[in-house]
Amino acid sequence: MNRLLVVARIAPIALLVACDAPVATDAGRADVPTRIDAGPIDALADALDVAAIDVIDVAEDAPVEDAALDVVVSDALSDTGVDARPPLRIPHSASVLVGIIGTGQSLSVGATSTPALTTRQRYENVRLRDMGTPPLYDGVGDRLSLVPLVEPVRSDVSGGTQLYPNNIAGETPHGAMAHELSFDAVRRAGVQFATAHIVVGESGRPMDFIRRGGTGRAYASSIYETTALTMLARNEARRFEVGAVILTHGESDWNNSNYATAVRALADAYRMDIPSITMQRSEIPLIHSQQGTFPGQVGRGQSTLLQWQASVENRGVVILSGPKYQMEYSADRIHLTAAGSRSLGIAYARAYAQTMFEGRPWRPLEPIAARRVGAEVEVEFHVPSPPLAWEDSIPQPHTTSHPTTGAPPTIWARGRGFELEQAGRAITIQSVTIRGNVVVISPATPLSPGDFSVRYAMTQDAPGFTGGTPWARAGQLRDSDPYVGHDRVTVMAAVTERSNIVRVTSGSLDGHATRALVRGAGLPPSGAVVTAATGAMLTLASPWSGPSGTVPIEVQSDQRNYAVHFEIVGR
């Protein structure tokens, strides 16, 4: 299929800006960043003018990414409740190209998420490509076109150097988000839906760098790509609209008490600036997720709590997809693996689809209220897919001693992630139980009169970065969502009755490893989580209860909803 290529003759504007010091190469740390003089970068989008472009045809053998189809997932096992969800009402016609802007810091650009998994495009999802002369994507002689979206995004430039366009380090959440939206639209509505993705995050950068008028390139670069995509769509007799902004961020602002306000300000900036370019009337929600690894020391991080509060205080404008503690972390215990990044992308897609296609604003598994009932404390939850359950494959927090700190804490050891405090004093938890959509906390001693605080997955007991470890800010509370995403694969496996070990005998695991969810006839209906993986051998959290033999099993990312990090006051 021929593609349209835009040759932009743009006035000289310096997108590549001078730095006072070399940019740090460690994309994983939120150290005090080098200050960047952005200069005239905000004028870049203004330089893109319809009158200043030529449109030419591109031959079919143009050097674009491979758009061949992946192997479609098998339906060998019975489908789950995903198809029973409300029908999709996709508001866009085929003449509208929907954009997704992705910003944030290292997890937004795939730091350590290698090798990439989404290397082929199944649908018609795209991204912008510059085939001009280096430096690329700088507004000077850009030759811009739409090419299939694959990971790593923007493979035509070197990546991992933090600043756009060289900001991509590995598998971002966008490849999976794009595939999931297209997969969901075909499966549930029988229509094609494609997105164009703008990925501008900057590793290790706080909000002051990525906000409108910030000292980095992220915001201005997103405006630049939005303007270019608007013109490309116009030249194909289509409209371009931005569907959402995806924010994967918060580590560098872990101690920023104004972080919730900054998130809303970023959302408002895009809601104001984007429609003036695209002329759209549709809303542009900001969808984000919680960080749970910084500051990498004993205690808590403010941004984690404020990310949840921003979604509560700005319903429909700021949407929280959920936490990330249940996903697969890399060896640095900060970033996600490629499988973890793919899982995050599917979570973003689900929040977007429910909000924009079903007309039901997404809410994660989150608390509604805490109250004292006799000697107990009850925490009521909004539960996306009842019933609530405990996920024992996640190590129970506050129980395991760290090699460098000695004995473990015992005050909240039975809390499954819940923490109880009154008047600044930690209260020992005797037990926690689930009753419908309520978690009942039984203190070891009665609370005194007055207010008390309930926290969940907020406090780290050991120094260092702990994502995915027994010392992480995590918890075991989840719902029972049966959602099946596009990453499901069906493989044949050798199983042994009453054994937790399964060995894949044929079929590809497609990048699935620890924290993947396995379903099969000899496992609980909700499935079992992979707790260890060595090649084709998987260790499951639950033993195989059926007879020994070779059977089909389904492997996918775990898309059940896990409780958000939170702190609330009860009385």
Same domain, 141 and 279: yes
| Number of Cα atoms under 13 Å in the Cβ half of residue 27 | 26
Same domain, 215 and 308: yes
- With a pLDDT cut of 70, the percent of the chain lying above it is 82
CA–CA dist 174, 507 (Å, integer): 25
Same domain, 527 and 422: no
pLDDT surpasses 90 at 509: yes
Task: Count Cβ atoms below 10 Å from residue 96 Cβ, excluding itself.
Answer: 19
The phi, psi pair for 274, rounded to 5°, reads -65, -50
The phi, psi pair for 96, rounded to 5°, reads -115, 125
Nearest to 351 by CA among 433, 503, 244: 244
> 40-44, 70-74, 126-130, 299-303 — which is least confidently predicted?
70-74
Domain count, the chain: 3
Interhelix angle 338-352/173-189, nearest 10 degrees: 50
pLDDT, position 71: 30
pLDDT surpasses 60 at 72: no
pLDDT, position 410: 78
Q: What is the pLDDT of residues 402-457, one digit of tens each?
A: 555 555 567 999 999 999 999 999 999 999 999 999 999 999 999 999 999 999 99
| Domain-ending residue, one of 357, 387, 406 | 357
Does residue 130 lie within any of the structural domains? yes
Same domain, 536 and 424: no
What mean pLDDT is predicted for residues 309-332? 97
Local confidence band at 30 (pLDDT 50, 70, 90 cut-offs): very low
Judge contact between 344 and 117, C-beta under 8 A. no
Strand ranges across the sheet with 438-443: 366-373, 376-382, 438-443, 429-435
Does residue 262 lie within any of the structural domains? yes
CA–CA dist 550, 503 (Å, integer): 9
Does residue 72 lie within any of the structural domains? no
Does residue 47 lie within any of the structural domains? no
> 87-96, 233-242, 435-444 — which is least confidently predicted?
87-96
Same domain, 412 and 535: no
pLDDT surpasses 70 at 152: yes
Same domain, 278 and 380: no
Same domain, 139 and 255: yes
Does residue 140 lie within any of the structural domains? yes
What mean pLDDT is predicted for residues 191-200? 94
In sequence order, the 6+-apart residues with CB closer than 8 A to the CB of 86 are 358, 360
Same domain, 472 and 502: no
pLDDT surpasses 60 at 105: yes
Same domain, 465 and 533: no
Q: What's the CATH code of the domain at 33?
A: 3.40.50.1110
| Domain-ending residue, one of 301, 328, 357 | 357
Question: Could you list the residue range(s) of the whole structural domain that residue 124 is in?
Answer: 3-39+55-65+96-357
pLDDT, position 52: 40
pLDDT, position 339: 96
CA–CA dist 559, 183 (Å, integer): 15
Same domain, 422 and 469: yes
pLDDT averaged over every residue in the chain:
86
Does residue 78 lie within any of the structural domains? no
Same domain, 158 and 129: yes
| Number of Cα atoms under 13 Å in the Cβ half of residue 204 | 19
pLDDT surpasses 90 at 59: no
- With a pLDDT cut of 90, the percent of the chain lying above it is 74
What mean pLDDT is predicted for residues 138-160? 93
| Domain-ending residue, one of 333, 357, 381 | 357
SS3 517: strand
Same domain, 518 and 546: yes
pTM equals 0.88
pLDDT surpasses 60 at 5: no
What mean pLDDT is predicted for residues 361-377? 97
What mean pLDDT is predicted for residues 263-275? 98
Does residue 48 lie within any of the structural domains? no
